[in-house]
Structure 1
């Protein structure tokens, strides 16, 4: 997915862990933001990437406090254990640039397999629209629709999308998207050259 974007300036990792994703993907980027709730892990992250901003706490609460505003975050890597939707809602509402990339490792399909979608507040509208029975089979389309809606609410048009199922029993969903702001802060089209109508990556790896 990174090939769909200009060089990243300020990526956000919403769940940093021990920094394994950083080692594989972001180690060449001098600045960024990472969030991790476990103190022993944030200590590792701070030593690992001294140029990055490291926050300790639950991602949705940290982001909801407003700490991302003005930082110029241009990419969101969301890898929660379970639902990403609360974190994505908070994060996308904090983006102030003209272009945003999003990549997600979504674990919700494990719950949907046993028809527990109705227990998720984040999927309440989708349960009504699709029905509890259909959510598991149609979850990738649900993700596209829901992420597109979150982007739209934050002032972005969905310009690129790709996703697929993976993991044991295909219970994980990987997807990525690019949003282009409808009216960038520096004027129409600023920072988003080359983006126009939505493009799809099909089943391409969004990473």
Structure 2
């Protein structure tokens, strides 16, 4: 017998809250025995990985300019030859010694996230034009109902950035610098993400 469901109301939308850390990084919050180490933590490479090792540091800031100390950040990227570690990669064989994906909770005191990875190669856009080397970021935290997507580009790749088809689609060109990392020494980059306000990072609807 079919029952009427009109009495069932949609539940309220919720932000990630503390549960994203409990589910995704249990060791980080002191819940041990589920994973030997949290998935996506640590370096994305090993001793056999091809490419230049780089360190990426950053902080997620809210609209008031305060660091979010409970943010969780993930990255996806190609290897140094521009191939993805994915079953959908059909252009060539990705480096088997490179993970291509990482996850970092922000430091609970400073909010800083850190990734040890390699600089990616160029990959083609859907129309065949070459995109500049970049890393895709996904961010969840308090106040964010749906994960935010953005990209980080490298400051030394000025020519490639200038012809990147995704950067070219950004209407307000003065916002492009929000997607360019700042170099902080040999092979170390800072990429701060600002959710609102002055210097708001460009996010992509994907």
Task: Answer 1 or 2: which has greater helix percent.
Answer: 1
Return the TM-score normalized by structure 2. 0.27
Task: Flag the structure with larger Rg.
Answer: 2
Return the TM-score normalized by structure 1. 0.26
